[in-house]
Amino acid sequence: MPKMSSRITGLTGGGDDGWGLFYKARARKAAGEPILELNIGEHDVRTDPSILEAMHASAKGGHTGYAAVPGTLALRQAVADRLSTMSGLEYGPENVLITPGGQSALFAAHHAACNEGDRALLIDPYYATYPGTIRGVGAVPVPVATRPEDGFQPREADLAAAAEASGARSLLINSPNNPTGAVYSDESMAGIARVAAAHDLWVISDEVYDSQVWDRQHRVFASVDGMFERTLTVGSLSKSYAMTGSRLGWIAGPDAAIAHLVNLATHTTYGVPGYIQDAGLFALQQGAEAEAAVAAPFRRRRDMVLARLEGQQALSAIPPSGAMYVMLDVRATGMSGNDFGEGLLAEEDVAIMPGESFGAAAAGHIRVALTLPDDVFAEALDRLFAYAGRQMEKAHA
């Protein structure tokens, strides 16, 4: 076999991007073992049948040919309207490119912002695919650590120092955050904006969890003063409408940037299936109430975890303000997130994601996905807390 490009062979950075434990749990589950999975960011309910009916009707109606590469005008308009309502800015269809999911939007956005060899900042802890996405466009990921004691809010001085030292072209932010559940405060966003302006950065703002916010308002980063012109907002229907498998997302930004991104789409994806887009349009027409209904179980289960934390010392958490996860600090057990996860899977058949999969700043933590039905989730928590308690006793024996 001829040699492959270093861009692709180096994409994961040599490791497994932290997915090792995930695949181990999946293999045991596939072999028929009763593994309780607290490891995946996917709803325990499927896409609403009414959305599937819209998809079916569209396909039967003939929307099975090539669809317009930028997305159908109606869907671009609907995404623009949703963003305008959330941000107070005026988005139109020319500001939106429909993509096959948020993941490909993140790739395209970095392609648009970075030249080969450019530095791309990302905030640590981060969603596990981020470094590979950045390497995939030939850029170099530069993580900027946040700290548990700050509730994982980024510090302006740290961002400025990283931008200065690396000469970065872009900064990837994610609020509500996977894995920490942090929703950036106005102050954090103002700090990010000052750094972006001072260092002429593109801000790539991953807002795929914008419908899952518990104790504050979601702020569209592009609505911070002066930021619209330098922000590419990434969104998706995966989380908001339980449409993960439909692969439907977008990039929104200045029209001149979107025009270039449409060219990229022409030469990569050639658009998104029309019947999927029509299903997405139907979903968006159900509006914020439908999104709140999809989000409600995660809030309930978040509160279940927080209630369990009381009266024990083995685990602690910064209450997540959004997204479908709780990050638990396991350091009181003396274990790394990875060792904790390995032991929990071996002894209790419960799978979590080790914090280390999300960057060095999440070491000593685990990420619990709030994605099992309440009764099964309660059982998984019983086992998780029992295991943590035993480890704590061992550590202090």
Please give the residue ranges that form the binding site for ligand PMP (CB under 6 A). 41, 101-103, 127, 174, 178, 206, 208, 236, 238, 244, 249
- Residue 351: its H or E element: strand 350-351
The residue among 352, 351, 317, 344 whose CA lies nearest residue 331 is: 317
CA dihedral over 67, 73, 75, 80, signed as positive or negative? positive
In the bound state with ligand PMP, the residue whose beta carbon lies nearer, of 41 and 143, is 41
How far apart are CB 137 and ligand PMP at their closest, in Å? 16
CA distance 366 to 315: 10
| Residue 227 and residue 203 in contact, taking contact as beta carbons nearer than 8 Å | yes
How far apart are CB 178 and ligand PMP at their closest, in Å? 4
Q: Pairing mode, if any, of strands 249-252 and 231-236?
A: antiparallel
Radius of gyration for the chain, computed over Cα atoms and rounded to the nearest angstrom:
21
How far apart are CB 42 and ligand PMP at their closest, in Å? 8
* Encoded tokens for 389: 């308690």
CA distance 172 to 143: 10
CA distance 282 to 85: 18
The residue among 88, 121, 105, 107 whose CA lies nearest residue 233 is: 105
How far apart are CB 21 and ligand PMP at their closest, in Å? 16
In the bound state with ligand PMP, the residue whose beta carbon lies nearer, of 101 and 141, is 101
In the bound state with ligand PMP, the residue whose beta carbon lies nearer, of 178 and 357, is 178
How far apart are CB 234 and ligand PMP at their closest, in Å? 7
How far apart are CB 249 and ligand PMP at their closest, in Å? 4
The contacts found for 65-70 with CB under 8 angstroms, 24 or more apart, are: 65/274, 66/270, 66/271, 67/271, 67/272, 67/273, 67/274, 67/277, 68/271, 69/262, 69/265, 69/266, 69/270, 69/271, 70/96, 70/97, 70/98, 70/258, 70/262, 70/265, 70/271
How far apart are CB 311 and ligand PMP at their closest, in Å? 31
* Encoded tokens for 19: 């997915």
In the bound state with ligand PMP, the residue whose beta carbon lies nearer, of 114 and 204, is 204
In the bound state with ligand PMP, the residue whose beta carbon lies nearer, of 205 and 333, is 205
In the bound state with ligand PMP, the residue whose beta carbon lies nearer, of 103 and 153, is 103
In the bound state with ligand PMP, the residue whose beta carbon lies nearer, of 180 and 391, is 180
In the bound state with ligand PMP, the residue whose beta carbon lies nearer, of 110 and 331, is 110
Q: What is the side-by-side order of every strand in the sheet holding 353-354?
A: 316-317, 325-329, 365-369, 353-354
In the bound state with ligand PMP, the residue whose beta carbon lies nearer, of 206 and 278, is 206
DSSP secondary structure letter of residue 213: B
How far apart are CB 41 and ligand PMP at their closest, in Å? 4
How far apart are CB 213 and ligand PMP at their closest, in Å? 14
Encoded amino acid at 115, one letter: N
Give 235's Cβ-side CA count (13 Å radius): 27
